[in-house]
Amino acid sequence: MAAKASERRLRTPEEYRESLRDGRRVFYRGEAVADVTAHPVFRHAVEHASLDYAMAEDPATLELAVAPDGYSRYFHVPRSADDLLARSALIEAATRAGKTLVVLIKEIGTDALFSLLAMKRLVGEPYGARIDSFYERCRDGDLAVCVAQTDFKGDRSKGPSEQDNPDAYLRIVERRPDGIVVRGAKVHTSVSVNANEMIVLPTRAMTANDADYAVAFAVPLATPGLTLVASPYLSTKDKRPAEFPLSAERKMVETTTIFDDVFVPAERVFLAGEYEHAGELARGFVEFHRFTAISYKLPLVDALVGAGLLAARVNGLERAGHVRDKLAWLISWAETLRALTHHAAERCRQIEGIAVPDTLLVNIAKLQFALGIHTAFQYVQDIAGGLLVTYPAPEDLEHPDYGAALRRYLAAAGGASGAERLRVMNLISDLTAGEYGGYQAVLAIHAEGSIEAEKLTILAQYDRDGAINYARWLAGIDDARGSAS
């Protein structure tokens, strides 16, 4: 029977927020941020992230958000297809409640924890025990955990140890009995300003020369020497929900994360020099994380379908041939992604007792999403019309002189009021034509591994021999048993 959040295995949103006031070193537009929960932009990120905690208290979502053992379901190590489906459903529900923006504060960290747990035998001791211990610490503390993986890389045609800048990849600069000292930086670190712990992983396979770069560990965000430089992209500043229904109050922060000779105690180090495992750790996390990704994309694609349908309705275009064509495409795209996501869970395999979604299907889903989002934007914009970028302001509709006239002109064929129609336009503008849409489009291509990385994985995971053998038999080169005929 499921334990209740009230048994206090889980933190409240307020406890979560309080935990972020710890002296972490964060900068925004060159200025130090004293308290991320009070910052005009970051407070929206904190509020958004609190959703993962609030869902565990809300009776409507409690069952989904809390595992039978009373811990957050995010920390529940998946052992079966059903576990994966439940995790996917939770991620989808949280993002749906988050108005198409993933919450991520528990999702990404547990992806990394699961991949580390699955690698325990590979990396061996003492790392295995440390991984167990760190996993339990995060679960028991109901912590928000972020992941720093991508290095700046410098010249991509060269490996870590071949760079002109020795710090182009994060590296160990000193090994002490009680731990290691690391130097370098990571880019694209999501939700770091409002996480409790940061897991650091290598970004690629490495060679013997790269041993100092083969490093994985975890640190609290307030660790000395750690600096978070937040990206100013997609500010919530001066945006009101009436005009920006998604992006006025929804926010995820990415940082450039600088390690200025940061000391990491031994018990928090999960890899330190075993270069032969760097690639596996890099890939392992990404594979877990891509399943999270395709789960959290579903509310976004649903929103695009719904926005298209709604725009067709308020514009009186539901019967137009080209509109129906575009809607059928949008639905097919969305439901294909949903089917691939669920099917990937159902076709999971076991690694060290952990259920891992089907890698091929996960990557195909991710690729189909990435290849489709710009077309989806085009279609929804096409149905919505030019008002997307020429709409009046919400205040205009309330103006004593001309507001009534505006509302009447904007009123739509299908009975939608002018105010409703304006809200639909504002939604679609926010969703597809402004910074929020651009943010989602760029994430589609680059987050959780780029399109090209997905293609590589698809080629690697597919049963190429099976397909080639079938073609050889069809061509009359081999007989049905695969022997040359």
User: Per rule CB under 8 A, is residue 134 in the interface with a copy of itself?
Assistant: no
Which residue, 133 or 233, is less far from a copy of itself as judged by CB?
Answer: 233
Nearest distance from C-beta of residue 89 to a copy of itself, angstroms: 15
483 binds a copy of itself (CB under 8 A): no
Place of tokens 């053992």: 69
Q: Residue 334 is encoded by which pair of tokens?
A: 């969305």
Residues 149-168 interacting with a copy of itself (rule: CB under 8 A): 150, 152, 154-157, 165, 167-168
96 touches a copy of itself by CB under 8 A? yes
Choose, by CB under 8 A, the member of 120, 283, 313, 407 that binds a copy of itself: 313
Question: In angstroms, rounded to a whole number, what is the distance separating the alpha carbons of residues 452 and 458?
Answer: 10
Binding a copy of itself (rule: CB under 8 A), the pick from 70, 306, 351, 453 is 306
Task: Pick the closer one to a copy of itself by CB: 276 or 346.
Answer: 346
Q: Decide: is 328 part of the binding site for a copy of itself (CB under 8 A).
A: yes
Select 266 or 469, whichever has its Cβ closest to a copy of itself.
469
Based on the shown chain and the rule CB under 8 A, indicate whether residue 137 belongs to the binding site for a copy of itself: no
Q: By CB under 8 A, name the one of 146, 271, 327, 355 that touches a copy of itself.
A: 327
Residue from 62, 89, 266, 433 touching a copy of itself (CB under 8 A): that is: 433
Among 39, 302, 354, 357, binds a copy of itself (CB under 8 A): 302
Site for a copy of itself in 253-272 (CB under 8 A): 254-256, 258, 260
Q: Pick between residue 207 and residue 368 the one whose CB is nearest to a copy of itself.
A: 368
Q: Give CA separation, 336 vs 143, 343, 365, 379, 456, in Å.
A: 34, 10, 8, 17, 21
Cα–Cα dist 438/462, whole Å:
32
Applying the rule CB under 8 A, the residues between 334 and 393 that interact with a copy of itself are 335-336, 339-340, 342-344, 346, 360-361, 364, 367-368, 374-375, 377-378, 381-382, 385-393
| 470 belongs to the binding site for a copy of itself (CB under 8 A) | yes
Question: CB-wise, 113 or 383, nearer to a copy of itself?
Answer: 383
Alpha carbon 454 to its chain's center? 15
**CB 469, min distance to a copy of itself, A:** 7
Tell me whether residue 49 or residue 123 sits nearer to a copy of itself (CB atom). 49
Instruction: Please calculate the CA angle 59-65-71 and round it to the nearest 5 degrees.
Output: 110
Shortest Å, Cβ 390 to a copy of itself: 4
Q: Which is nearer to a copy of itself, 145 or 397 (CB)?
A: 397
Among 8, 21, 176, 324, contact with a copy of itself (rule: CB under 8 A): 324
Q: How many residues bind a copy of itself (CB under 8 A)?
A: 140
**Residue 437 interacts with a copy of itself (CB under 8 A): yes or no:** yes
